[in-house]
Structure 1
Amino acid sequence: MSRFLHIAESAEDLVLQSHMQRELGRRTGTCFQRCVGMDAANAMWSTTFDIDQKHGSSYHQRFQDFLKTMQKQNCVIGGAMTDVKGDRMLTPSQQEDPDLFVHIHRRLPNGGIVLRGAKAHQTGTLNSHWMIVMPGAALKEADKDYAVCCAIPIDAPGITYIYGRQSCDLRAMEVGNEIDQGNAKFGGQETMVCFEDVEVPPELVFMDGEVEFTGLLVERFTAYHRRSYVCKAGLGDVMLGAAATVSDYNGTSKASHIKDKLVEIAFLNETIAGTALAASYGGKPTPSGNFLPEILMANVCKQHVTRMPYEIARLTQDLAGGFLVTLPGDKEFSHPVAGALLEKYMKAKKGVTVENRRRILRLIENMTMGRNAVGYLSESMHGAGSPQAQRVLIARLMDLEAKKKLAKHLAGIVE
């Protein structure tokens, strides 16, 4: 069975997920686009169980049947949570256009549903087999039609995918220009997914109007997914390696201030990994039996991720030097006049080829400014919820009154 289709049955399972995610980040240098489906499956497992306990519905059995099929067929699942949202100050039902949040447009006589709306920033959906659609926020009774969870095949009638642009994306289309791509082996993509009267049969519907469980689902999904940003520690390992390599090539690796910057990169990167592992080791069972990461530490992990990759990128660019942004293109190096001049004047440390210097500079460019900066920087900021979303959870869970009691006790304050 694919580990991305496995339901976590212990804290150790969560820890193993974290190690896997970091390792895949190391091997790809980008977002490998599998975590959303894994986290959605685990969140849906426990939430459908809780809905059934209250309402006597059969969502949990439906979801089990669906997941067993995915496991047997080894399917890739994407997760679709983020709505396009429209006016952020209005609830879904208050929007001028009801389709600005995915919703049930109508219910079918057989118990199925018809969806309309759009999901934004969908990482990996286009190269999945199925997607799990979920609400993106806690909802109230007026927004009942927006409280929907279901599974949909990627090629279902009525779905349109609109592909997003990325910095330097056309380099991937240049024949024979592997070096300028920076990372010619791996990259990611995001799409807007538009639902225009998409029919979902009843056996693939896992929530239909149970608004009181939307907040719980979002909280559980984000606990898994914010912890899953341990993958950025894997990308950070690549960045540390790139920073060290470019320093070697420049002949500066023995300088004390260079060593100190490399230590700083490692320190920042291991902080991300440490908080993710803490969230995993602190996992507790839900009533359904699967394990949920410790919510506070999961949000602390993601809050670090909104900041530390940017500082790691800054330090790596510092160590790379100006050629990071003034390096001529690959064609210039094969030009009859410019090529010889570039080979002469772009030499660095003795024994280092100009081509290898170019390659490491392009990798750093790719991860800090190019296509894979989407996965390492912008996604670190906004993926799994923008920074304030984590701060809301941290504020709720930091138990300030208990901390005040500790301080007052030691200070001898009696109130």
Structure 2
Amino acid sequence: MTESKTTPFLRTAATLLLFLLVLLSGCVAPSPPPPLPEPLPPVEVKPLEAVSWEEVDGWFEEDPLPAFAAFLKSCRALKKRPDWQTPCVEAAALDPEDSGAVRLFFETCFTPHRVRNPDGSDTGMVTGYYAPDLQGSRSRSDRFSYPLYKVPDDLLVIDLSSVYPELGSYRLRGRVEGRRVVPYYSRSELDGAALPARGKELCWVEDPVELFFLHIQGSGRITLDDGSRIMVSYAEQNGHPYRSIGKLLLDRGAMTRDQMSMQNIRAWAQANPAQVRGLLDENPSYIFFHELAPGVETPPGALGIPLTAERSLAVDPRTVPLGAPVFLSTTWPSSSVPLKRLMVAQDTGGAIKGAVRADFFWGCGDEAGAYAGRMKQQGRMWVLLPRPQGPLAAR
């Protein structure tokens, strides 16, 4: 029996159909993946979280009397604020030597709030500052040749907040050149041969490195060659950004991070006198000073009241209100020994930025400087805020 003539055609058609089916099956769009779940909204971290006194690390072991004396000073400024009137009136009525009554005052009039960073952590950097002692003279000489300047007459301070509210408290510094406002002189220009601030010398000192540290600290005592002593404090600055010479020395390998301190920067300067001027000029920021009233021995803080050694704290006021008591839990400089005490937020600083960030005021002189120069510890903070209804309001 012979094969039909149509058989090859049918076989060819079947093969072609099978090929088309295979081809089409590869062109079928895959099933879409299941939709991704909606992202969770970011968790808002509140910078201040109310807690119990039991959660304040070290509160019950602390003697509150030294910080209470500092808080009474804060009340000179705080008593004008409605939220602070009750605790300030209560404080004024207490016996400042009665530790039990003072502790009860803090526990009754205030609620402790744990300070947190935006990422939710509650630890941050705690550094130290102090008011250095310098030797100086009202007259320039070979020994005293480095000037402290008062605010120059040509320094402009421009506040644009009324026109640009988004600038907040930011102020521009500059000077007029023709019809233009240009940046004010930098450190290298102010200390250079032209001496653009000449005639505004408050006094002269003998050591450029000690003068540089005075610029960083913002206040200090100067013993003059006639035996008298004056206190000088920050009045203005030239508007240039601060640049750390310590970081520069680290970057250049002049010392390790473990070696970094004011004491070792001094030692480096003594060993490398020819490089000192160039290093200091790397920081263009410059501070102008004013002389405080005779008899003032402690510099004022941002509240305008005298700071208290080892009880005043510089903070970022965007998180911690100036004048508020703050419990600090950290360690002693270059040590793991606990340092837990009640402080008062009475100052600010250009480098003190962030929620859990503080600068510990150690006082005046070389011993205070020895602690401040080595302090770079981790710490936690609790700010004490007035209760809405204090004891006085309940009477």
TM-score, normalised with respect to structure 1 = 0.24
Higher relative contact order (Cα pairs below 8 Å, separated by 6+ residues): 2
- TM-score, normalisation: structure 2: 0.25
- Which of structures 1 and 2 has the bigger CA Rg? 2
